[in-house]
Copies of this chain bind each other. A is one copy, B any other.
Amino acid sequence: MRRHPLEEPSNTEEEILAATYRALIAHGYAGLTVKRIGEEFEKSPSLIYHHYEDKDDLVLACLEFMLDEYAEQLTGEAIPDPKRHLAGMFAWLLTAGKRADDAAFLSLLVDLRSQAVHDTEYRAHFSRSDAVFREHMTDMLQRGSADGTLDIENPEGTAEVLFTLALGTIVRGATAADDGWPHRLRTAIDRYLTA
């Protein structure tokens, strides 16, 4: 999740999706309109209407594009030390509140994910997204288990626990104040990972 896949759009299609992303960050899902996406877009807004029907069409295309990019990044990623990798991932998530861009990105994910409560297309997207990240974790735990780096009996179940914990962490970060919980949670996760 470090490099943002839409920071450097390389064609008109990607420029439209990058404009959608910027408009989402600026206005949130509820405040998003195709007009506002047009304002973030440097070419003629008519190009947007030519490719997309409505704002959900644009948001879903933006989510799918980012997910495909992450999936590709994850596939090529070499992870020599899974415990350290997981500790780093939780450290990144639990300190995101201190970095405006990362906090805005994670808050947007929570905002968009909540659309899946009522909308089957968002639900299908986040089901696929969860499977991508969960399978990446499972793969990492299975390799670590096979080469003796990790001692776990149930990599699939452990991946579900870690993924669900990461999702809960993202949601808390986007929706609740820091009363010390990120520090307490990080300490506990670090203990489990070193145990």
Contact = CB atoms under 8 A, between A and B. Distances in A.
A13 B131 CA distance: 44
A49 to B, nearest CB: 24
A111 B112 CA distance: 11
Q: Dominant SS at the A interface?
A: helix
Interface size grouping (class) on chain A? 35 or more
B189 A127 contact: no
Interface string A95-113: 0000000000001001101
A130 interface: yes
The number of times this chain is found in the oligomer is: 2
B111 A107 contact: no
Contact of A158 (B130, B161, B188): B188
A191 B158 CA distance: 10
Contact of A113 (B158, B171, B187): B171
The 5 closest A-B pairs by CB, nearest first: A157-B188, A168-B168, A114-B114, A116-B175, A164-B168
13 contacts: A28-B118, A107-B117, A111-B117, A113-B171, A116-B175, A124-B177, A126-B175, A154-B191, A157-B184, A157-B187, A161-B185, A164-B185, A167-B168
Interface of A: 28, 30, 107, 110-111, 113-114, 116-118, 122-124, 126-127, 130-131, 134, 153-154, 156-158, 160-161, 163-169, 171-172, 174-177, 179, 181, 184-185, 187-189, 191-192
